[in-house]
Structure 1
């Protein structure tokens, strides 16, 4: 049985996560799993299929890994999908109680990859290229995120012209769409695709470097 045609993210998906935030229990999940399957999982899988031009997507499982966490709530309060272009770089889309979010960049990196990233940012040509890419995205309304040091990395002067980017250990940009009228319609896929295309220069830069 193939993935159904994408028709939008229904309001029931947001309602499901709002209720899950209030009662994150196995009892609630068992009673409402059909809502998750029909209103969350299936539409997100169909959205990922409609975005196949970017590559195959991983649909994340709903269960949290609580083995090493003090927070023992069993379920994630969002549904995410990730399209990888490399070991740690790609595009992301997420649905939760607040609505829709999109992101792109690199989300995890080995120490060797972080060192490569910083060496490239230190380069006057490739580093300046990243500055332009990130600046353009921030001006377009995207929020820069990622794990970063509060101080300068070892061996890098705090006066480096790109010190802000050199502090990053991961680098992403994101946009919160919330719950616009088009979220529950087929047009949703075009909005996500347009945002991912805008983020493509950053994703491609990360792919080349990492």
Structure 2
């Protein structure tokens, strides 16, 4: 009876076509990090064709003696195994390999050996492997996607704490481009964002230290309690870009209100203060104070320093923003129950009593920018205190300082 010749356990350097098919795997999602911040975002979906030679060598190594031994062992019939054991009875039985080790993916279920267990497979780590057909489309498993190249933050060009660098303005300039104001682009440039965010937090910490010295009413809060999120709420907006175009923070006696600062490239960085769209009750209280007496507010907005920073204390002839006037929410006619010929009708038509001062990019990048902001904050302090008193004090208390003095006198008399 003819006997089958036992197969050799050695393998050739080049795997057979059948073995190559069995060893082919799908591409997996990878992230290739690059330290160059100047690379184009179009590289987000990249190919690793330059690594084909190395990948082919890795595939060949996977079809070495051990892999061929497992393949031969799995494809032998029971009869062949018996004849082989008879031919060499002295040879020890090969020990089964440890469970949990996996070789390259196979399209078919492996055959079981004589013990009824599937042959163990070696574990391997593969980042990317080409399909046999190079022209076929990339197939990914559920939940997998090709992310692209992560752009690392520059290692040079940053400034000391309390200053703003060109890197921050450049990143915010990208946020103004709809092609970059995208979750994929943002994810690939997140290391740059995190570094710019850290720089902005350090600046706000220095700004808050200066602000609390100028205005003792403002508590010293950490930057995380003052800085606004960069993520936009797009639920009720026609603009669906997911990220803001500026870094912003605000602080007051109650936290994120009051003096408002933000950095936006294109000479649009600003420092602002006042009451933006106050609630109905707060707005009515402010108007009642103005109806009773507008002298204190008029005196503040007419001061020479205030005018030099925020403009003349009357509406602009062409309706532009100037001082507290010209806001988008300003009424076209007099409020309900107010005479349209009232002497303070210009103030009474305002729904927001706020002022802002813009700065050029050149000013923002100067080492002494904090000192320049300190000058503006000192001019804003009386204006902010006046609005706070209008909102919190009853009508008739024209000056909060005078009321405090009266209370002190009363305590002394007691």
1:18 and 2:170 are equivalent in the alignment = no
1:172 and 2:349 are equivalent in the alignment = no
Q: Distance in 1 between matches of 2:254 and 2:298?
A: 21
Q: Distance in 2 between matches of 1:87 and 1:32?
A: 31
Deviates further, 183-192 or 17-26: 183-192
Deviations 1:113-166 (A, max 9, x none): 000010011122xx1211121233652121435432121111111111111111
Query: For this pair of structures, how many residues does the alignment match?
Result: 203
Alignment-derived partner of residue 101 in structure 1:
270
Q: Kindly tell me: are residues 88 and 187 of structure 1, through their superposed partners in 2, closer, same or farther at Cα, counting changes over 3 Å? A: closer
Deviates further, 28-37 or 138-147: 138-147
TM normalised by structure 1 equals: 0.87
1:34 and 2:216 are equivalent in the alignment = no
SS at structure 2 position matched to 1:103: strand
Q: Kindly tell me: are residues 86 and 161 of structure 1, through their superposed partners in 2, closer, same or farther at Cα, counting changes over 3 Å? A: farther
Alignment-derived partner of residue 309 in structure 2:
141
Q: Distance in 1 between matches of 2:331 and 2:232?
A: 27
Alignment-derived partner of residue 161 in structure 2:
6
- Select which of 131, 137, 154 maps to 2:336: 154
Q: Distance in 2 between matches of 1:12 and 1:68?
A: 32
SS at structure 1 position matched to 2:250: strand
TM superposition shift of 1:103: 0.6
- Select which of 202, 214, 217 maps to 1:46: 202
Deviates further, 199-208 or 42-51: 42-51
Alignment-derived partner of residue 111 in structure 1:
280
Q: Distance in 1 between matches of 2:378 and 2:266?
A: 23
Q: Distance in 2 between matches of 1:88 and 1:133?
A: 24
Q: Distance in 2 between matches of 1:155 and 1:24?
A: 46
Tell me, yes or no, if the aligned pair for 1:103 and 1:196 is still in contact at 8 Å: no
Tell me, yes or no, if the aligned pair for 1:92 and 1:102 is still in contact at 8 Å: yes
TM superposition shift of 1:194: 1.8
Structure ID, larger Rg:
2
Tell me, yes or no, if the aligned pair for 2:162 and 2:205 is still in contact at 8 Å: no
Q: Distance in 2 between matches of 1:7 and 1:169?
A: 35
Q: Distance in 2 between matches of 1:189 and 1:144?
A: 23
Tell me, yes or no, if the aligned pair for 1:88 and 1:106 is still in contact at 8 Å: no
Tell me, yes or no, if the aligned pair for 1:101 and 1:175 is still in contact at 8 Å: yes
Tell me, yes or no, if the aligned pair for 2:259 and 2:273 is still in contact at 8 Å: yes
Which of the pair is proportionally richer in helix?
1
Alignment-derived partner of residue 193 in structure 1:
374
Q: Distance in 2 between matches of 1:85 and 1:161?
A: 32
Q: Kindly tell me: are residues 155 and 175 of structure 1, through their superposed partners in 2, closer, same or farther at Cα, counting changes over 3 Å? A: same
Q: Distance in 2 between matches of 1:9 and 1:44?
A: 7
Alignment-derived partner of residue 59 in structure 1:
227
RMSD: 2.2
Structure 1 unaligned spans of 5+: none
TM superposition shift of 1:89: 5.2
Tell me, yes or no, if the aligned pair for 2:273 and 2:356 is still in contact at 8 Å: yes
Which of the pair is proportionally richer in strand?
1
Higher RCO (C-alpha 8 Å, min separation 6): 1
Tell me, yes or no, if the aligned pair for 1:89 and 1:203 is still in contact at 8 Å: no
TM superposition shift of 1:64: 0.3
SS at structure 2 position matched to 1:141: helix
Tell me, yes or no, if the aligned pair for 1:16 and 1:97 is still in contact at 8 Å: no
TM normalised by structure 2 equals: 0.46
